Every structure is written in structure tokens, then in C-alpha cells.
Structure 1
Amino acid sequence: MKEECGIAGAKLKKNAEIEIYRMLLQLQHRGQLSAGITTYQPNENLILKTRKKTGLVNTVFCAEHNAKFNAIMKNLESNRGIGHVRYATCGSDDETYAQPFEHLHGKKNRWFSLAFNGNIANYDKIKKDLEKQNYHLIRKTDTEAILLLIAKELKDNKTIPDALKKLSEKLDGAYNLAIINAEGTIIASRDPLGIKPLCYATNKEGEIAFASESVALENIGFENPIDIKAGEALVIEKDSYKVVQYTKSEKRAHCFFEWVYFAHPASTIEGKLVYDVRYNLGKELAKGEKEVVDEDTIVVSVPDSSTPAGHGFSEAINAPFQEGLIRNRYVGRTFIQSTNRGEKVKEKFMLIKQIFEGKKVFLVEDSIVRGTTLKNIVNYIKKYGNPKEIHVRVSSPKIIFPCYYGIDMSTRKELIGVNKSEEEIAKIIGANSVRYQTKEGLINAIKLNEKDLCLACINGKYPTKWGEKNSSEDKKVCII
């Protein structure tokens, strides 16, 4: 499983570029492929100025070199702007795919920069429709298609919310957008289903900021973030802001994986603290436990997103939680990487043999998609930890359908949970047993109404027409 993208933006008294950079650092878990910032500089010939490159946020902005970093920030200096971190499952790694994307135009209201979080399920249709109208997509990404659609709609002095309304009639999928134009107007919009999270906050100085997750806002001193609701857009003008309903939202489909895996544990989404949800998932998972807990039993999580669930599970079954696996947070991206998956696990995790040796281990993981990584983790523990038994416990339900809204789950035939029992999965990954969370346990932990959640990857009930269509064709997921 991989993370998705993250967006952020702000209108401050000064130095918005610094605060947007800091927010992107807090959103780094959502995308490590590239990063970028666009700022508004009305007194310059280039009114919108963008820096974007491949790499982690600190690499893109040369944070380890004080003089270079200061020069970059000076060049971007402004009181407002937007930012982006990117993840992709296909497409090129070159800088032309880094966001924000910019659309140049002689009229200020039609010159804008765009950052995108999500995935358009009907991208192929949108692309064909644009090409029939003599448009040419250079990068062949859904972000570029959205850029062209907005540019097309901004004719005749239409506003960006007007354009978003038209887009909502054409786009199928998840699409949170951050837009800034050459008039200095900033838009942060959430799709009509509210699939991905997006929030904003203000302060006593009259400043305003928004981000994919509340943790980014709180890190720069903004308190009490407010969720932008499904179908809403935050519109930030020169000296004011407003939240508008740019399109109807007849239902909600919040991605449950934000709470299970994607989001930072300190973030709050739809009023639910991510850490609390993960801890509760562990407690819910323990309700159906049938394995005997004895004095040799320990609970170990696969760090980091599974750790709160591990603590909840440990407390519920009254067995000690041990940090038997320690994540190496300093590996990063490197040109010297092992092609052997088992070796990659050893590079990513350090195992403490003394914790595992002779123990009955409950290994808590947040999800199993293809099962390849978990199989290697189990083998790693068995080979070097010498445990008595390993029982895998998964804090989310079995994934049996792919996602077409921004999660890297590929095709249905590649999902280990499809047409296999828990006993068969345990045999494949080399564990003594495997047990998944129930759907009821998941909903109890999140504490939202089932009808307001997207559960498509566990029950096949997609909230959009094109999600259903792609699933019926078992279409390969491609997030660019």
C-alpha cells in the first residue's frame, strides 16, 4: 500500500512560502515522489512563481543548505500561495509531473496554478473528449485534464467556483483541488462525495490556511481546524474568505483508509482523531480473539501506522505490547536498493531478537493488500527472531476489490484476500493464523454512519458509476 498526494495553502500577513513549506513537511507521509509551491507576486512580471522538483520536501527546497534554502524562500516570498506533495503508481518520475501545474494566460483570472489530490475514475473518457475538441495532453495525467477543463470553463469571466460546478458534472472520482490565480484568489475545493480529507483554519490575525490534514495546520499554529464539506470550496479573496457550496452533495463517501492507514495519527478527520480510531480498531479486533493468551504471549505491531491498533489490541487481550520491529527512518530514497523483497524488509526494519525468542507473537498489521511485504516480515521474524508462534491480526477488513479513487491496489486478481480463507492466507504468508477485522468492528471504531463511508474495497459497492464500471472490467489502477 502506498500513500497518496497532499495539498496545502495559505493567505498570511507575510512569508506564506515558509509556512506552506512547513505544512508540506507535515504532509510528507502522503507523497514522497515530488513537491512544489506556487506563490503570488503581483509586482513581478511572473505573477505566479513556482518551484517544484522530484524528491522529498527538504530535498526540493534544499533545507540542508541554509544559504540555498533562504535564497529559494526569498524567491518565493509572498503573503499567499499553494503547495503539493505527490505520490504516483505509474507515469514518469521527471519534474514535469511535479505539481502545482500552471496554466499561463494573458488574462489574470485565467492564469492559474493547480494542485490535485485524488484520482479520476473516468479519466480515459475525459481524455478522449478533450482530444476530440483538439486538445493535446502532454503528460497524459488526470491533473492535466482537470487543468484544461478549468481553463476551458474560465472563458467569459466565469469564476473558479463556476468552473468547479461544471467540472462536477463531468468528473467521476476523488478530486480535492488547490488553485491560485494571477488575481491572487485562492480556492480549496473538496469533491462532491468528500472522499479525501480537506480542512481549513483561521487565527486572530485574520490569516487563513488549509491542508489535506489538520496536523499540518496545527503545526504552524492554527487551532480548531474545520472540515471543508463535500461539494464545498473555500474561496480566499484579497481581504476576505468564504465557503461556498459549488455543487450538490447528495451523499458522503469518506475513505475509511484515511483512518486505518493514510492519515497522520495526530490528524482529526470528520471530527474523529485518527489515533483514537486506530486504537479502537485494535480493541475491536480483540473482541473475536480465540487464541489462548499465556505468560509467553506478546503483541508486536508492524510500525508505524499499526502501532496504535497494536496498543489497543494488547490492552484488550491483557498481553504486553513490545516494540520488536523498529523502523529505520533514515533509509529514504536511494539509487542503491535491493531488488530482493526480503532484503528490502531488512533494510526497512530492525528486529530485536530478544523480544521474539520463544514467544507466542500476535503481529498486528493495519491491512494486507497483496501480502508480499507481510510474508517477508513474517519470514524475517521466524528466521532471526525464533518465536514459538506468529499470529497475524489485521485491523482492517479483508480487501477484495481495487480502489479507483486514489489508493494503489492494482487489479482484483492481485489481491491476496480474493477467494481465499484466513487459513489459506496464513499458509501463504507463513503465519500460524490470520484474522481480519470485521466490517462492524471497523465502523464501531470510526464512529461514523456506514452510509457516509466508502467501503468499496471490502464490499465492492462503489459510490460512483465509473468506479463500478472499472471494477467490472477489473481495470488496472493508475495514479499519476
Structure 2
Amino acid sequence: NTYIDRERTNQSNYIQILFDGIYQKFTELGHKKQQDIEFLKNNLPFMGEVLMGHLRYGTHGSNSIKNVHPVLRKNNWMPRNLALAGNFNLTNVSELFDELISYGQHPHMMSDTITILEKIGHFLDLEVEKQFRNFKSENYNTQTLSAKISEHLDIGEILSKASKSFDGGYVIGGIIGNGDAFILKDPSGIRPAFYYYDDDIVVAASERPAIQTTFDVKVEDIKPLGRGNALIVKSNGNVQEVSVNPAAENNACSFERIYFSRGTDRDIYLERKELGRKLTNKVLNAINHDFENTVFCHIPNTAEVAFRGLVEGMNCALNQIKTDQILTLGQQPDKQALISVLNSKLRIENLVVKDAKMRTFISDTNTRGELVSHVYDVTYGIVRDHFDTLVLIDDSIVRGTTLKDSIISIISRLAPKKILILSSAPQIRYPDCYGIDMSRMNEFVAFNALLNLLARDGKENLLTVCYEKCKAQENIPFDVPVENYVKALYASYTDEDISAEIARIVTPESVSIPVEVIFQTVEDLKSCMPDHPGVWYFSGDFPTKGGTRVVNRAFVNFMENKNERAY
């Protein structure tokens, strides 16, 4: 029997393929049977009342259909069937794999997806067997035995036992063949999850606006899933949020909110605006308070909200200047002089245009370079040649590929006096291993800037020292904390030193216009997102033991010329 229906695709026209495949069996029915709900529920797939979907960005590894969620664990016993989908990465897959071997299992591959599936599946099997023995001893007949097992399955206990040694960031959704369902969140709260329920529905998603738009509910009625908690929905409609693992220190991911998350979430929208506003003083100093000869624009599309915050901050600064100028005019100012002051305003233009169909950060490595050179165009005739400073803000600068291969090259054709690039995020210095796939050190423009500075100053021996320290920690047992030695390399230079070298790296050789790059500080980022203090990309302070090991492994891979993922 098929207790859980599944439809997946890895093709580009995924919506059409998915729904054509599902609807085909319905279109073959006559009109009368299409209206017979009981017939449909008993005879056709996807007529259940528990639904789960997932969109996977294939930024690393194979994009084959077997990697597309949901993944299934099938069994002839209804409550032993399991489907999983989620946003996660684990750093200790090899240790968890060894645990599965100790259970007597022989998983067909070592991956976090299969490991999570088999870990939860193993304890689901044990729970079903326990309930079977309990009710069998009470002489329940076979017709009622399955129902009693399903009713008494302790999903929280299953998840607690299965996930207690998970190291990573995760939000995992699951469906069991009997109709029970759950959402599980990591103890550090790294990955986001929200839910809403009433008398009719229960819904969970990684972002609030998806729930608000679909079900037209108020934001205050949507709850965040707590750290280490699980939302458990029994087949009888009972809904509970329960503690599965003890909550660790809050390390909700900040970069997710800067780049990936929907800007239509009220909190994220305000946070992004504040990130832009925080750059105001640095920009004022960089343009020497010269508003008249400065043009402001943003790099589409994610930076648009931060740009609004920057504009608000710059307008406040300009208003202060205008106030001071008006006061100097005296109590009876000349009308034209007053009008001249009041007419001073920011020069805000849409200069950079992006093809909306292309998004390069989440493209696979082989195609990203080809894409970026064709993504952007510019508006001509607005910037005064060799006279205006051009200020552009982006949400973040990770690799620097888009800046060098496309943006700076194309905007240099406008012939500004100077190009000032702003990043609403701090310098991304360290790999991620919790779901946003950035795991190779040499992909970060900040790390490449560090390498250049060490080479320039004859300090390359520090790389060897760091390598030896990282290498010495490789075989330390997983439960023993290790140190992030890469932080000491960055400590050799100021943030401004690295920013200046990044500017040199991202400036194409063909461009002679001065380019300056300004980054957000980690402290200002934290003040913008007090409820999302996870800043390991920028600070190197990882929320889990495995995260620090990934940094060291990524550095070792770099030193050994291994172009592979560090977890």
C-alpha cells in the first residue's frame, strides 16, 4: 500500500510538471466522480488532509531527482512510513552514520538527508514495536491494534531520541503514514519556522508572509517555533508545541534575513531599512558631505529596502545641514537664498537595471560566472562625466564576482568621478554549514583580500602556522570543543585594511575610476537585529561545536588545494 503520495521534479518547468502529474488521474474521471469526495479520498492520490512541500536550491553537489525533497522511508506497516522535507545541514554526519551502523543498519549513502531520515525512522520503528507489544499484551485484536498504536505514538519522544546528537541548523517537516505530522527546530534556533492553527487548519512555513498571504491571517496570530521545539499534529487534530531538546543560546541566523528571506515580513523589512540607515555616517565621510555632486542608487533587487533606509538617513543628515544654513541667513532671510537651501535634495536615481529572471547567488558554480556578465544594464545620461560620485548599495558581498564581472564594469561606462560600493552586511569571512551553502574559504572575497595582504606584507608564514593548528585538531573527539584559529589571521588587519583590498580585487583592470567599498560593522548589524544574533559568517563565532570544526576543515582544504565541501 502507498500510505504517503509523493510527486517530485528537478525540471525547470516544475509547477506544470508537478500539477500535471497529480491532476492527470482526476481528469480521466467523469464529472460525477470528480464531485464525489468520499470516492476521491478512498481511490485517488493526494486526497489526504496532511500536505507537505519543499523547494530546494541546488547550490552544491548533484541536482538529481533523488536529492529533491520530500524523501520517503516506506514500510508495509502504516505508522512506520515516513516522509521528510526541510531546510537543514548537519556537521556531524559521519558520527551519526556510525550510530546507524551500531544499530545494525547499513545506509546506502552518507548524507545528512539520509542520516536524518534513518535516525528518525529507527526510533519510529522502536516506538511502533513498543506500542505493539503493549497493546498486544492487552489482547487487542488486529483490527484495532493499528489504530491504538497510531493513537499512542509519542512523536516528541521519537524526535528527542533521534535528534539529541544532531549538530547543525535545521527545520525538518515530517509526515508519518498514519497521518501524524511534525515540524522540528534546532536548539540554537538557527533556521526560522512559523506556524498558525485554528479550528480548521494547521500550517507551518519557514517565513511568515507565506502564511499571511495564503490564509489571510494577522501577524500576531502566527507563532515562531521555539528553539529545540517540535510542533506535533496528531491525526485526530490535536496540536501541540513541545520541547524536544533543551534550548541553547539564541543564534537565529542574521544573514538569512539580509538576503534570502522575503522582505515582505514586517520585521525583516524594518531590519533591512535600519541596516541601510546605519551606513549613513560612513557615507557622509566618504563623500565629504557633498550632496550636490553625489548620485545614490541600489543594486537590484534585495538591496532596495536597505537603500530606503540609507536614503532616510542621508535625508536626515541633509536636513540638519539645511537647518544650519537657514539659521545663518538670519531672522529676515533673502527669499532666493532660502529657496536655494530648501531645494537642496538627494539625487536618487535608478541607474542599475537587472534581468529579473536571473539570480546568480543561488546558481550552481559552473553557470554563475557566465550569468553575471549578462544580468545588469545601466541608465545612461544621468551621471555627469568625471564630476559626480556614484554611491551604490548592495545587500551583501560574498564572492565579489557580480561586482567585478558585471556591475563595476558596466557602471564605469557612466564615467563617474568615483564609485562607492556599500554592503548592508559585514564582510563575510567564514563558511556556513547550517543550510546556506558557502563552505569553501577561497570563494570569499574577504578571505582572498586577507591572502593578498599577508603576501604583500611577507606574512604568509602565518598561513602555515594556522594550518598546523587546525590540522592538529582534526582527530579530536567530536564532543571536545575546538578553537577557530582562522580568526587570528583576520586579526592581523583592520576591517578597513581588508575593505580597501576588496575594493582593489573587485575593480576590473580596465577600470581606472577610483572604487571604494564600505561594509556594515558586526556591532551595527547586531543592533539592527537584536533577536537574530547569529553572526558566525562575519565573526567566526559558531553556535555549535561542529561549526567551528567546519571552519578549520575548510581552511585545511584550502591549504591542501582540495576543492571540496568542508562538511
> The TM-score by the shorter chain falls in which range?
0.7 to 0.9
The change in CA–CA distance for 1:429 and 1:111 in structure 2 (over 3 A counts) is: same
Q: CA deviation at 1:66?
A: 11
Structure 2 partner of 1:191: 186
Say if 1:259 and 1:446, in contact at 8 Å, map to a contact too: no
CA 1:68–1:352 in structure 2 vs 1: closer, same or farther (change >3 Å)? farther
| Aligned counterpart, 1:9 | none
Change (3 A) 1:54 1:342: closer
- In the alignment, is residue 303 of structure 1 matched against residue 300 of structure 2? yes
Against the structure 1 CA distance between its residues 284 and 189, is the aligned structure 2 distance closer, same or farther, given a 3 Å change threshold? Answer: same
Q: Is 1:453 matched with 2:533? A: yes
- Residue identity matched to 2:274: N
Cα 1:135–1:373 change in 2 (3 A) is farther
- How much has 1:79 moved relative to structure 2? 2.1
Q: Which of 380, 389, 398 is equivalent to 1:353? A: 380
- Correspondence 1:423 to 2:519: no
Determine the C-alpha separation between the residues in 1 that align with 2:25 and 2:270. 37
Tell me, yes or no, if the aligned pair for 2:75 and 2:81 is still in contact at 8 Å: yes
The aligned runs of 1:185-224 (5 Å cut-off) are: 185-203=180-198, 205-223=199-217, 224=219
Q: Which residue does the alignment assign to 1:278?
A: 272
Superposed CA offset, 1:256-289 (max 9, x none):
0122111000125xxxx11111111000111322
Task: Check conservation: 2:8, 2:18, Cα contact below 8 A.
Answer: no
Structural mapping, 1:54-65, within 5 Å: 54-55=10-11, 58-59=14-15, 61=17
Which structure features the higher share of helix residues?
A: 2
User: In 2, are the aligned partners of 1:114 and 1:179 still within 8 Å (CA)?
Assistant: yes
- 1:68: Cα distance to partner? 5.6
Name 2:246's counterpart in structure 1: 248
Q: Please give the residue correspondences for 1:29-40 in structure 2 after superposition, counting only pairs within 5 Å.
A: none
For the residue of structure 1 that corresponds to 2:554, the secondary structure is coil
Q: Which whole-Å CA distance do the structure 1 matches of 2:23 and 2:200 have between them?
A: 31
Decide whether the 8 Å contact of 2:233 with 2:239 is kept in 1: yes
Shift of 1:53: 0.9
Q: Note the C-alpha offset of 1:52.
A: 0.8
Provide the secondary structure at the position in 2 that maps to 1:52: coil
Work out the CA distance in 1 between the residues paired with 2:47 and 2:13.
17
Match of 2:51, SS?
strand
Report what 1:377 is aligned to.
406
Distance 1:249 1:312 in 2: 34
Alignment partners' CA distance in 2, 1:325 and 1:410: 30
Cα distance in 2 for partners of 1:462, 1:395 equals 21
Query: 1:3 — aligned with what?
Result: none
2:518 aligns with one of 424, 435, 449:
435
Partner of 1:294: 291
Does residue 1:148 correspond to 2:118, yes or no? yes
Instruction: Classify 1:244/1:67 alpha carbon distance in 2 versus 1 (closer, same or farther; 3 Å).
Output: closer
Q: Which protein shows a greater Rg?
A: 2
* Residue in 2 that maps onto 1:263: 261
Deviations 1:40-68 (A, max 9, x none): xxxxx422100011145753645699976
| Greater shift in the superposed pair: 355-364 or 130-139 | 130-139
| Cα distance change on mapping 1:261 and 1:103 into 2, 3 Å | same
Secondary structure of residue in 2 paired with 1:435 = strand
Residues 292 and 347 of structure 2 are in contact (CA less than 8 Å); yes or no, is this contact kept in structure 1?
no
In 2, the alpha carbon distance for the partners of 1:443 and 1:462 equals: 15
Rounded Cα–Cα distance in structure 1 between residues aligned with 2:366 and 2:226: 43
Q: 1:294-344: per-residue Cα shift (whole Å, max 9, x none)? A: 3231222121111111121122223333222222223589xxx99786752
Give 1:411's aligned amino acid. Answer: R
CA contact (8 A) 1:97 1:139 kept: no
Judging by fraction of residues, say which structure has more strand.
Answer: 1
How many residue pairs were aligned? Answer: 425
Q: For 1:201, what is the secondary structure of its paired residue? A: strand
* Corresponding residue for residue 468 of structure 1: 548
| 1:323 corresponding residue in structure 2 | 350
In 2, the alpha carbon distance for the partners of 1:54 and 1:340 equals: 17
**Preserved contact between residue 7 and residue 22 of structure 2 (Cα < 8 Å):** no
Task: Kindly state the Cα deviation for residue 222 of structure 1 after the two structures are TM-superposed.
Answer: 4.4
Amino acid at match of 2:525: L
Q: What amino acid is the match of 2:253?
A: C
Deviates more, 1:392-401 or 1:367-376: 367-376
Structure 2-normalised TM-score?
A: 0.69
Is this contact kept in 1: 2:127–2:154, CA < 8 A?
A: no
Contact kept, 8 Å, 1:233 with 1:245, in 2: the verdict is: yes
Secondary structure of the structure 1 residue equivalent to 2:429: coil
Q: Secondary structure of the residue that 1:76 maps to in structure 2?
A: coil
**Aligned residues with identical type, % of pairs:** 25
Offset of residue 392 of structure 1: 0.6
TM-score (norm: length of structure 1): 0.81
Q: Do the aligned residues in 1 keep the contact of 2:351 with 2:379 (CA within 8 Å)? A: yes
List gaps (5 residues or longer) in structure 1.
1-44
Q: Is the 8 A contact 1:279 1:311 kept in 2?
A: yes
- Where does residue 154 of structure 2 map in the other structure? 159
Residue 36 (structure 1) aligns with? none
The residue aligned with 1:34 is none
Equivalences for 1:46-85 in 2 at 5 Å? 46-55=2-11, 58-59=14-15, 61=17, 75-85=45-55
Matched, 1:394 2:471: no
Alignment gaps of 5+ in structure 2:
29-39, 129-152, 316-345, 454-497, 508-513, 558-563
Cross-structure match for 1:172: 167
**Contact preservation (8 Å) 1:201, 1:226:** yes
Residues 288 and 79 of structure 1: is their aligned pair in 2 closer, same or farther, counting only changes over 3 Å? Answer: same
